[in-house]
């Protein structure tokens, strides 16, 4: 990564997981320039999937509690959806930064 690739601004955002827990929650639309950062401070494992074009990715990526993940290849935060790995109906708030 070059210094010119680093974000010049960030906007905190969040998404509450769905009830029932088998459903996905998409982050609200917020423009990003290339990438975003997910912060899992929910006390449970979460997973996310990324949408490219009209198709959601077939691979769900797990994020342990306390972990941070960078998600690349984005134009908008609504390309990321999240849910609890255990698919519990107890909702949690997943935090993120829209980077630009």
Residue 100 pLDDT grade (very low, low, confident, very high; cuts 50, 70, 90): confident
Rounded (5°) CA angle 6-66-100: 20
Under CATH, what is the fold of the domain 3-99?
A: Jelly Rolls (2.60.120)
Q: What is the pLDDT of residues 19-77, one digit of tens each?
A: 999 999 999 998 888 889 999 999 999 999 999 999 999 899 999 999 999 999 999 99
> Quick one: which of 39, 43, 45, 19 has its CA closest to 80?
39
Q: What is the DSSP string of 32-61?
A: EEEEEEEE--SSS-EEEEEEETTEE-S--E
pTM of the complete model: 0.87
Q: Are the beta carbons of 16 and 50 closer than 8 angstroms?
A: no
Which pLDDT score is estimated for 13? 92
Which pLDDT score is estimated for 1? 47
Residue 8 pLDDT grade (very low, low, confident, very high; cuts 50, 70, 90): low
């Amino acid at each position: 990564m070059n210094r010119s690739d680093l974000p010049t601004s960030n906007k905190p955002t969040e998404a509450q997981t769905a009830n029932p827990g088998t459903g996905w929650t998409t982050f609200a639309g917020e423009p990003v320039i290339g990438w975003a950062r997910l912060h899992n401070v929910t006390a449970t494992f979460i997973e996310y999937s990324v949408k490219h074009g009209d198709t959601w990715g077939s691979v769900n990526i797990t994020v342990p509690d306390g972990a941070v993940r960078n998600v690349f290849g984005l134009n908008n935060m609504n390309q990321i959806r999240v849910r609890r790995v255990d698919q519990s109906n107890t909702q949690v708030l997943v935090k993120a930064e829209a980077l630009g």
